[in-house]
Amino acid sequence: MKGLLLKDFYTTKANIFVAFLSCIVMAIGLSIVISPSVVIILVAIPLSMTVSSTIISDKKNKWTQFAITLPVTKKQIISSKYIAYLFWTVLGMLIGSLICYIILKVTNSTDEYINMFMGFSIIISLLSGSFIIPCNFMLPEENSLIGTILAYSMTSGILALFIYVIKKVIGVSNMNLTLLIICSISVIVYLISWYISQKKIKNFN
């Protein structure tokens, strides 16, 4: 498993550095216009997306088929992507939070949206990851982008639906509590996706 994660790290490290720098520049710019805490989401999501690019490049290079000849199981190959996705999401959130903290310190201001953007980072990353990872494994390379677009569209729809149901139907008006409930649901959906992918994705050809 560690070998698989290392391979993904070596494959993406050059891209991650460029993506990371672009995100920082974009995030700092947007944080002035919107809110400094928007940095959290703007760093976390692109970093987690690098996992999607590794699945596509693995297919292109036929790495996945080569990996099956090594003493690793198909389940481990799939799990390595889910673990890497979680790792980059958490790291992105930490880096984003650190940048947000620095901006707030430098500008000597406060930001009331920190919790909201933290919550959105977890929800959007995990819900979209729950669809993107299996889609990238199962769809042909040329359709991977469609899978990604669909995953983000579905995530936005599901997020809006959850907020509506929790607020209007269940009657929870506290935004933090609403986000906490949706975050918990996102974690569960992610774990279910991980479990099902391990069981169902068998053909890497």
Partner 1 sequence: MENILEVKKLSKKYTGFELKNISFELPKGMIMGFIGENGAGKTTTIKSILNIIGNYKGEVKIFGLDNKKNEREIKEDIGVVLDDMFFPEILLPKDINTIMKDVYKNWDSDLYFKYLRDFNLPKDKQIKTYSKGMRKKLEIATALSHHPKLLILDEPTSGLDPIARNEVIDIFQDFIQNEECGVLLSSHITSDLEHIADYITFINDGEIILSKTKDELIEQYGIVKCTESEFNKIDKQDYIKYKKTKYECELLVENKNEFKKKYNINTIDKISLEDLMVLMVKGEK
CA 98 to chain centre: 18
For the bound state, the minimum distance from the C-beta of residue 163 to partner 1, rounded and expressed in Å, comes to: 40
Give the length of the chain: 205
For the bound state, the minimum distance from the C-beta of residue 72 to partner 1, rounded and expressed in Å, comes to: 6
Separation between Cα atoms, residue 128 and residue 50, nearest integer Å: 13
For the bound state, the minimum distance from the C-beta of residue 62 to partner 1, rounded and expressed in Å, comes to: 4
For the bound state, the minimum distance from the C-beta of residue 153 to partner 1, rounded and expressed in Å, comes to: 29
For the bound state, the minimum distance from the C-beta of residue 140 to partner 1, rounded and expressed in Å, comes to: 17
Nearer to partner 1, 2 or 105 (CB): 2
Nearer to partner 1, 54 or 97 (CB): 54
Burial letters 138-167, b for 16+ CB under 10 A, else e? ebeeeebeebbebbbeebeebbeebbeebe
Nearer to partner 1, 4 or 166 (CB): 4
Dihedral angle, C-alpha 26, 27, 32, 36, nearest 10 °: 180
Q: Which residues bind partner 1 (CB under 8 A)?
A: 1-4, 6-7, 10-11, 14, 57-58, 61-63, 65-66, 68-73, 202-205
Q: How many CB atoms lie within 10 A of CB 171?
A: 7
CA 132 to chain centre: 9
